[in-house]
Amino acid sequence: MNQHTILDLYRARTPRSAELAATARELLPGGVVHDARLLEPYGIYVARAQGARKWDVDHNEYVDYSGGHGALLLGHNHPAVVAAVRQQLERGTHYGACHELELRWAETIRHLMPAAERVRFTSSGTEATLLALRLARAATGRTKILRFAGHFHGWHDHVASAYGSHFDGSPTPGVLPAVAEQMVVAPPGDVAALEATLAAHDDIAAAIVEPTGASWGQVPLDPEFLFALRRATSARGIVLIFDEVISGFRCGPGGAQGVLDIRPDLTTLAKIVAGGLPGAAVVGRADLMDELDPVAAKARGREKISHHGTFNANPLSAAAGIAALEIIATTDACDRASEFAEQLRNALNDVLAIEKVDWSAYGTFSGFHIFTNPEHLPIRPHEIDAWRYDYKVLKARRPEVITALRLGMLVHGVELFSWPGGPTSMVHTDRDLQQTAEAFQATLKLMKSEGFVG
C-alpha cells in the first residue's frame, strides 16, 4: 500500500481522533453535532485552542480557519473576553431575571449599529432568523417570505431548503410542505428576476438576505442588488431583513449595513455579537420590534407575538459580547482580519499559479473561499468577486476533492472550514499565512499525485 496517500498520512497522525470518532458514531448521529463538521473518514477532536491556533487530542497543532464558525474575530481566548466571562462566572450564570448586562449589551449593539432601535436577544442565529420572520409576518399580516438561492439562514423549517440543495424551494426531509410553500426563492443578484418575483406575489411579508452574499461571500453579491432590493421592498411595504449573523461586526464595526450604508428594517445577529459564547439577537425598527411589546401591541389592537428562551441574554454571553464589541468598537480588529484575508487570498492564488491548478481563492472582507472549479472554467479570482458567476457555478463541487483538500491541509497543520475556506481573525499572523500557503502547496502536490487535481 502507498504509505503517502493523504488518507494514510491523516490516519497516521490522528489515532486518538479516530478512536473518539468511532465512539461518536455510536452516540451521535453521523458522529457529529453540526452538519458542517461531517468529514470522511472522521474529523479531528480538539483539545485546546489559543489565538489563531488549536491542538487536537493527538497533540497536532493547526492554524485555525474555523474561527468558531465565524464567531472568533478576536481569536480564541482573547484576554479581555476571558476576564469578563471569568468575573461573571463568579457572580452567577443565570438569574432567571432581568440584569444590567443585558442593557449594556443592547446599548453597545445600538451604538455600533444605529438601525438597532430595539434589541431582542435569542440563543442562536437560527432562533434569530425564525423570530425575525415571525415579527415581519405579524407586522405586515402577510405570509410569504422572499429568500435567495444559496443564502444560509440557519436550520429552522422556513429556511431549510435552497441553501445547499432543494434550490426550487421544495421541502427538505421532515419539513411540512405547507411551510416550504410560504417561502419564495429568487436567484441572488438578479434585479430583473427580483422585480418579476415581486410582481408575481403581493403577499410577501419580508425579504431575507445575506448582505455579503451566500455563505459569507461564497457567492458574492453586487451591492447594487442590495440597493435595488432596499428600494423594491420599501416601495411595497416588505420588511427587509439583513441576516448579519456572520457579517455583523466583521465587515466593519457596524456590519455590512454600516459599510454599505443601507438601513435594513430588521437585522439578525449571532456569532461575534456574543464574543464566542452562545448568543444572538434580532434588532431593528422600533415599530416592528414592538410586536413583542404587550403594551404597544395592545395599543394597536393586536395580540403580541410570543417569544421565550431560557438562555436569552444569559449573563455569561452578555459579558463576553460586551467585551468583544468594545474591542471591535475601539480598535482596527475588523480591518486587521480583512487585511490578513486579502494577503492570504493572494498567497493561495500565487500557489495555484505556481502549481498550474485552475482553482481560485477569492472572497471579501475577512473571508476566503477556495473554488475547486469542477467544470474547469477559465476562472480568475477578481471575476468571481465581480459577480460574474452564479450560485450554481460557485456551489458546485466534487465532494471527494473537497475532502482530499481538507484532509491534506490538516495533515500539514491547517484546518479549513467546510466551504472550503474560512473566516479570518485579527490575530492571524504572517507565520500563519506562510504556513497556510506552504500547506496548500504540499496538499496540491499530493492531490495531483493521487489524481484529485490536474
Ligand X SMILES: Cc1ncc(COP(=O)(O)O)c(C=O)c1O
69 near ligand X, rule: CB under 6 A: yes
Q: Which stretch binds ligand X (CB under 6 A): 98-106, 118-126, 134-142, 225-233?
A: 118-126
Q: What is the distance between the alpha carbons of residues 279 and 320, in angstroms, rounded to a whole number?
A: 10
Site residues (CB under 6 A) for ligand X, limited to 283-312: none
Judged by CB under 6 A, which stretch of 77-85, 149-157, 286-294, 369-377 contacts ligand X? 149-157
CB 404 within 8 A of CB 6: yes
- Identified binder of ligand X from the candidate list 14, 17, 126, 373, rule CB under 6 A: 126
Determine the 3-state secondary structure of 415 from DSSP: strand
Residue 31 touching ligand X (CB under 6 A): no
Say how far residue 25 (Cα) sits from the centre of its chain.
Answer: 26
Indicate whether 158 belongs to the interface with ligand X (CB under 6 A).
Answer: no
For ligand X, which residue of 112, 186, 226, 270 counts as binding (CB under 6 A)? 270
Mention every residue, 6+ apart, whose C-beta is less than 8 A from residue 28: none
| Residue-wise DSSP of 154-209 | -SSGGGSSSSSS-TT-PPPTTS-HHHHTTEEEE-TT-HHHHHHHHHH-S-EEEEEE
Cβ distance 139 to 145 under 8 Å? no
Can residue 226 be called a binding residue for ligand X (CB under 6 A)?
A: no
Of 149 and 270, the one with the shorter C-beta distance to ligand X is 270
Candidates 57-65, 184-192, 239-247, 418-426 — which segment interacts with ligand X by CB under 6 A?
239-247
Q: CB–CB of 119/109 below 8 Å?
A: yes
* Least gap, CB of 75 to ligand X (angstroms): 19
245 binds ligand X (CB under 6 A): yes
Question: Cβ closer to ligand X: 32 or 377?
Answer: 32
Q: Which residue sits closest to ligand X, CB atoms considered? A: 125
Q: Is 114 helix (H, G, I), strand (E, B) or coil?
A: coil
Least distance in Å: CB of 450 to ligand X?
Answer: 31
Which lies closer to ligand X via its Cβ, residue 280 or residue 361? 280
- Choose between 337 and 447: whose C-beta lies nearer to ligand X: 337
- In the complex, the smallest distance separating the C-beta of residue 213 from ligand X, rounded to whole angstroms, is 10
Distance CA 119, CA 124 (A): 14
CB-wise, 14 or 268, nearer to ligand X?
A: 268
129 binds ligand X (CB under 6 A): yes
Q: How many residues bind ligand X (CB under 6 A)?
A: 14
Q: In whole angstroms, what is the distance from residue 87 CA to residue 370 CA?
A: 40
Minimum distance from residue 262 beta carbon to ligand X (Å): 16
Min CB(71)–ligand X separation in Å: 9
Residue 243 in contact with ligand X, rule: CB under 6 A: yes
* HEC per residue, 24-64: HHHHCHHHCCCHHHCCCCCCCCEEEEEECEEEECCCCEEEE
Interface region with ligand X, contact rule CB under 6 A, candidates 147-155, 183-191, 255-263, 442-450? 147-155
**CA gap 249, 258 in Å, rounded:** 9
State phi, psi for 166 to the nearest 5 degrees: 50, 45
Q: DSSP 3-state assignment of 261?
A: coil
SS3 category, 451: coil
Minimum gap (Å) between residue 156 Cβ and ligand X: 9
Position 249 contacts ligand X (CB under 6 A):
no
Can residue 366 be called a binding residue for ligand X (CB under 6 A)?
no
Strand-strand pairing, 239-243 and 204-209? parallel
Give the binding site for ligand X (CB under 6 A): 69, 124-126, 129, 152-154, 210, 243, 245-246, 270, 280
